[in-house]
Amino acid sequence: MTGAWAATVASVQLIAVALAAPIRGTIVDQVVAVVDKEVITDSELLVEARVALVAREGEVGRAIAEGELDVDTLLRMRDYLVNQLLIANFIRRLGTVTVSEQEVDRAQQRFMKIFPSDDAYRAFKRKYDVPEPTIRSILRRELRNETYVKERMRSWLTVGLSEAEREHRAQESLARWLADLRRGAEVRLLGPQGELELQ
């Protein structure tokens, strides 16, 4: 066996051993959910969760968003995001709800005012790697969803009930509708065994 041939054989053997060996390394990101064909990674969930907490829960939400997000909060926000994507997909198919740039601008201004200063807002974006276009995209989707849900809820409200009863009926109807959307979609969530499980 010539020296060149021996070197080639040795290289092939090393590659074979490397391919057979278990892959070790650090997980940089992982898929935590799939809604129809839309993939949600761990890093995307963290960004979505922090923006939604601030936008929806104000000062209290900002305090949570700027801390370490615990498992319960992440699971709650994952379910919230899945619902948001289900509604957004439904609306996209209808093609009837539009949101203007001015509405998004106003939503972004409200979002920014939750922070004590412009510097605090910029620090939030920098620390959690949340680009401005991402914030606007999330706010746009939430505005569109909220507009559609409010219209739909009007048809669920019954005349003659108290405000509390009407709100209760509307929330029950919303929960049933979201459950129907889930049944009509393919939703997979990361399970305890580290595999995506069909819901």
SS3 131: coil
Q: Who contacts 149 (Cβ-Cβ below 8 Å, separation ≥6)?
A: 87, 174
pLDDT-based confidence at residue 172 (cuts at 50, 70, 90):
confident
pLDDT of residue 156: 66
pLDDT of residue 19: 42
Please say whether the structural domain 27-198 has been given the CATH code 2.40.50.100: no
Mean pLDDT value across residues 44-60:
95
pLDDT beyond 90 at 27? no
Q: Give residue 176's identity as a one-letter amino acid code.
A: R
Q: Please state, for a pLDDT cut of 90, what percent of the chain lies above it.
A: 61
Residue 56, token pair as written in the block: 């929806």
Q: Is the dihedral of CA 21, 24, 28, 32 positive or negative?
A: positive
pLDDT of residue 95: 83
pLDDT beyond 70 at 16? no
Mean pLDDT value across residues 48-54:
96
- The domain segmentation of the chain, as residue ranges, is 27-198
Q: Which residues pair with 31 in a beta bridge?
A: 41
Q: What is the pLDDT of residues 115-157, one digit of tens each?
A: 999 999 999 999 999 999 999 999 999 999 999 998 887 776 6
Q: Considering the entire predicted model, what is its pTM? A: 0.79
